[in-house]
């Protein structure tokens, strides 16, 4: 019997239309403000409710657009030797402290980790390495940071049951 270790698999969602996402957040904040009706007259409360209903309808449309613009990247963790090579290639020393170039790490590691890319309905999207690198370069800083967290988690898996888990099941 052959025994192998399965590398962790995970997925990461990326919103590709950040303008619509921003509009969605602004409208959601506006609805939250309209929900504060304390101290309003009945007429003012009624007007706020009508405004909230109108904005909620707009919000639903925008949320649908955000979902449609979202892709999911399925990733598989790398073998530790390959991951460590990427870490070394992306680390330099500044004032005696190691500093990682996260964007370089994404560009190096992610293409090796991608199992597939799916659109918002789960249909596979074909992406070349060039397409993938273009996507990675276009990410906002916060998106890059979140993706970096995902790949670090996948490439630093637990390799045995933590003592707390064994205690809970004893």
What confidence category does residue 52 fall into, taking pLDDT thresholds of 50, 70 and 90?
Answer: confident
Average pLDDT over residues 103-121: 96
The confidence band for 79, taking pLDDT boundaries of 50, 70 and 90, is very high
Checking if the pLDDT of 167 tops 90, the result is no
Looking at per-residue pLDDT, the higher value among 41 and 12 belongs to 12
Give the pLDDT mean for 6-31. 95
Predicted pLDDT at 83: 95
The Cα–Cα gap between 150 and 105 comes to: 12
**What does the block give as tokens for 55?**
């904005």
> Taking Cα atoms as reference points, which of 125, 90, 93 lies closest to residue 108?
90
Q: What is the band of 127 on the pLDDT scale with cuts at 50, 70, 90?
A: very high
| Distance in Å from the first CA to the final CA of the chain | 30
Cut 0.85: pTM above it = no
Q: What is the pLDDT of residue 9?
A: 95
């Amino acid at each position: 019997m052959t025994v192998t270790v399965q590398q962790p698999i995970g997925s990461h969602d990326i919103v590709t239309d950040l303008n619509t996402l921003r509009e969605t957040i602004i409208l959601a904040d506006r609805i939250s403000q309209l929900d504060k009706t304390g101290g309003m007259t009945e007429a003012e409360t009624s007007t706020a409710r009508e405004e909230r209903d109108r904005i909620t309808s707009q919000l639903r449309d925008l949320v649908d657009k955000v979902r449609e613009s979202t892709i999911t990247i399925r990733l598989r963790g790398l073998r530790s030797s390959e991951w460590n090579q990427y870490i070394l290639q992306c680390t330099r020393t500044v004032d005696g402290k190691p500093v990682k170039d996260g964007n370089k790490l994404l560009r190096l590691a992610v293409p090796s980790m991608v199992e597939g890319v799916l659109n918002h309905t789960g249909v596979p999207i074909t992406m070349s390495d060039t397409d993938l690198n273009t996507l990675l370069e276009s990410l906002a800083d916060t998106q890059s940071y979140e993706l970096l967290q995902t790949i670090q988690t996948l490439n630093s898996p637990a390799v045995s049951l933590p003592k707390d888990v064994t205690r809970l099941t004893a």
